Amino acid sequence: MIGRPRLSRFVFWMTIVFLFLPLLVLILYSFNSSRRMAWEGFSLRWYQELLFASPNLWRAFGNSLLIAFGSALTATVIATLGAIGINWYSLRIRAYVQAVSFMPLILPEIIVGVSLLVFFAGVGLRLGLFTIYLAHTSFNLPFVLLIVLARLEEFDYTIIEASRDLGATERQTLFRVILPVSMPGIISGFLTAFTLSLEDFVITFFVSGPGSTTLPLFVYSMIRFGVSPVINALSVVIIAGTVALVLMARRFVAYTVR
């Protein structure tokens, strides 16, 4: 019994090292003056090259941000309303709706990508940014739905009863009671969807068209000819932006809960 806490701490720290050591190595070598893995000295050379990098890189990065924000926002709105409907209304097909909604979570991405490609070809949609947006919205929906449902499971129903006793309509209860209390789950779902969309490669590869290259596709095209240290610098910038976004979201959630 005495050794179990030590074993748990050891496993925990080994997991942390396994997850974050590659990121630390990437950050370290983004400041390496050499193109090779051998350390030759500290330098900001690759950040300078990133600043004046190919316009195609920044165009791909802009496409990724646009699609990630748009698909995450759309998926969050639809999934939030869906979670509220599933949680509060007695639907006969509730179990089937949940089962169908969670199917993309267990299906391989290559299956989802091929099926979306076949669907877009069948309805005559031209592959491009719009089809990527639709694809990302579809696979983001179950993730946001699951997160918001988990938040609603902890909901205090007496608040809704109190709002109705005070004369609030169903619409007022939704916007002034349910949504504010569910905001931590909604924000968490949005950030999860944004991250999944930003880094997706497999599904995007199938549904993208000419002129709709996203950052993962652009990085893949660069890696085929050798990894450039500029990618390390870009990765560090994205990591820093993600951490800043999470910290701001955490403060906002703490403020809304308070």
Give the three-class secondary structure for 238: helix
Give the three-class secondary structure for 32: strand
Question: What does the alpha-carbon distance between residue 110 and residue 117 come to, in Å, rounded to a whole number?
Answer: 10
Confidence of residue 41 (pLDDT cuts 50, 70, 90): confident
Residue 193 has pLDDT above 80, yes or no: yes
Residue that has been written with the tokens 């877009």 in this structure: 120
Q: Would you say 177 and 168 are in contact if contact means Cβ atoms under 8 Å apart?
A: yes
Average pLDDT (243-249) is: 79
Give tens-digit pLDDT for 194-224: 988 988 889 999 999 888 889 888 888 877 7
Average pLDDT (152-168) is: 76
Domain ranges of the chain: 54-257
Give tens-digit pLDDT for 77-118: 999 988 888 877 666 666 777 777 777 778 888 888 899 999
Question: What does the alpha-carbon distance between residue 69 and residue 43 come to, in Å, rounded to a whole number?
Answer: 33
Question: What does the alpha-carbon distance between residue 180 and residue 256 come to, in Å, rounded to a whole number?
Answer: 7
Average pLDDT (45-61) is: 82
Question: What does the alpha-carbon distance between residue 174 and residue 208 come to, in Å, rounded to a whole number?
Answer: 37
CATH architecture label of 54-257: Orthogonal Bundle (1.10)
Q: How many CB atoms lie within 10 A of CB 100?
A: 11
